[in-house]
Structure 1
Amino acid sequence: YNYAEALAKSMLFYEAQRSGTLPSDQRVPWRSDSGLSDGADNNIDLAGGYYDGAGYIKYNFPMAFSTTLLSWGVIRYKRTYEALGQLDYVLDTIKWTTDYFIKCHPEPDVFYGQVSDNAADSQYFGRPEDMNYQRRSYKIDFSNSGTDLAAEAAATMASAAIVFRSSNPSYAATLQQHAVELYDFATNAPRRSYKLSIQPAAQAYGSSGFQDELAWAAAWLFKASKNKLYQNRARRHHVVSSTEFSWDVKTAGVQLMLDDFDKQDLYPRVATFCNWMLDSGPRTADGLLHLNSAYPAKYAANAAFILMLAYEKFPRAARATEWRALGIKQINYLLGDNRKGQSFVVGFGDQPPTQPLHKGSSCPLPPAECGREFREVNSPNPNVLYGALVGGPNEMDDFSDLRTLEDQSSVSLDGNAGFQAAVAGVIHLK
């Protein structure tokens, strides 16, 4: 498969999701400025960042995880991005989040975690450029804390600080300072899930706990600073096992980073996760890991990224070559290695999806009107959402290219992040 094309188009998806004032070199012709008044209800400028998926809510929790994965991919596969001429694009993709997060973090113990909500967004079906409804902004602070959100944002800033250290050291220092402050906020404020403070988040991205985020943040701060305080805290916060790696559960990523820090070679902690995927991970007949019926493709891609990283770090582990093969198999399946030869990436390969659930690409170009009826029309989206990884097939490998089937046609920031990082890994291993 043309992995280089898949990686390049994934970044076009992120450009299509941008909110705020778009740059002059924006490559998605049907997008322009939007959300310029975000934060006005709290007298703060929150223009920027990314819309999460089909609509126009900015959920900072999955945005943070997505950006951390993209940074991890660059840290590990920088030469691959350079060789493909894609390094500048991925740095811009990461910086679009971190510039926004700097705005969201105006004080050490304040972080804005969401703009708009499902109640408002579900009433609007049109272009982001035409939004005229009230978009509320939501924050956490010391009195209304959010341990998981603050820690996740800390991990994002720390990982991005590593990415920018050589090309923009002053910016990297700023990011690292934000990471330290956000981690301190997460650990010093009362411990509780952010969904209790930002209640609309619970409808889509309500975290199931915060110990993994605390460990994840500490691990990235140790990697960025080499301060052993963070290494010790990552060990202390660490949760033992998991059967997924996702926006909600970071345990496998933490295990991999702790293994790297502690130099365990033959029997890494992450082996439990990888071997579970080999032996017990539910799969379709054609071999896709089917870990979640809602958007199975992204869970498979995230697992693939961990499997390939584990192989690279611990090639002498007993089943390392099996980890590698299973990881590559997931990416190949998503690009067309299945009985129908079907791609699950919009605008890529054979029989790609043409009806992703996505308001902006479902709207015809202005001045034509756009309304809710476009969701019900059984025809390709007027604008191609290049690079978007859709939800994927059911457990029987069946897929219907209909935007009305949300589990199969959804797109999301975190859906593409692990996928893009894993594609970079396949290119590297090939």
Structure 2
Amino acid sequence: MPRPESSYDRRRLRQWLAGDARADGVARRDLLKLLAAAGLTTAAPVALGTPAAAAAAAATTVAAPGIVKPLPDDWFTIRGTNAETKFPSLAGTGYHTPIDHFFVRNHTSTPVLDARTWKLTVWGDGLAREEPVEFGLDDLKRFPATTRTAFVECAGNGRSFFTTQQGQSVTGTAWTLGAIGTARWKGVRLAEVLRAAGLTRRAVDVMPRGLDAEYVTADGANLGHVRRPLPLSKALDDVLLAYEMNGEELPPDHGHPVRLLVPSWVGISSIKWLGDIEVAAQPLYSPWNTDFYRLFGDAYPEGGSASLTHQTLKSAFELAWNASLPAGADHRLTGRSWSGAGGVGGVEVSTDGGTTWRRARLYDAPRRAGWVRWSTDWRPTTPGTYTLLARATDTTGRRQPETTVLNTQGYLFDAVVRHPVQVF
């Protein structure tokens, strides 16, 4: 049974205090915040090494988005280095998101890698071997193949609604609800590759690292390659090294030739363009589980919440924002709902701003790490502005709330979204 992330954090912080952890690229002040949040603050002196990759770099101009695939205006909204799927474009596309509709989340730009020369290096003091172990794509394909259907969703999906719906200021990309896609992924279980590389009982953390360009913040700090540790319990559970997506070779924008797939967890965990995986006998930290992908704000401890793991609960209409619909006509409203904690077992829809609710018709069974498609019929009789709402309940019994507790980086928005339409 995987350990709760909070107890995992406390255990690895204790190891850090004992001098048995490494925190490359993480500022001392950030680890002290984590200690305060976990109630483990101490006056003991700690020395942290600072690699060259984490040194401050000169400010540079922002590059073009660097996305390889076409981004038709009716399918995508461009947001900096990212492309958000327009939810209406998913209507009628089936359960799996077509690759050409799948959202793109890049920290820098998409690298175009040659699968013939690509190697995955597995290394670290959590292995029995001192020398790194390399796997080419053909080597991975010799392992038994595993196929999983799962969504990948950015932790900031829905972030803009903190501002537009709740009147609160947050930082980060102003996603609406389109930073999600569900695909059929094929690859090899990470557990099998780790065991083949010589996994030992000493292992604590697994740190995958991408081959995209090093990430430089707006103030010029070079944080190095995108990387984020996983607890070994999750790494040995349902994580895939994926090399196919919806029956096709993994495309460049989605991690070619091999990416990690971490079902149900926030998208940053599913590192694209894998280059190496460190298997460590001590806890590991990176900026992506200290500065980012924790919840900060008045409702949280000074050092923030535990590192984000499971995604939250959401619903979206496959309908344009402020869509115009004729009065006196029958309309079939469609949408999708999903949860990182379990399958979605029920969806309710309101067409009068939440005064009354009715159950939507579901087209898919509740599925872990998946979504359900749903519909309901509506015949508005009077012209005017209407507010549509959809709220899901998952198999753990959780239902979408009216509001989401504020966190300053705008992660895990889960409130019912108020969707306006115009009836004429």
On whether the aligned pair clears a TM of 0.5, the verdict is no
Larger radius of gyration: 2
TM normalised by structure 2 equals 0.25
Where is the helix percentage greater, Structure 1 or Structure 2? 1
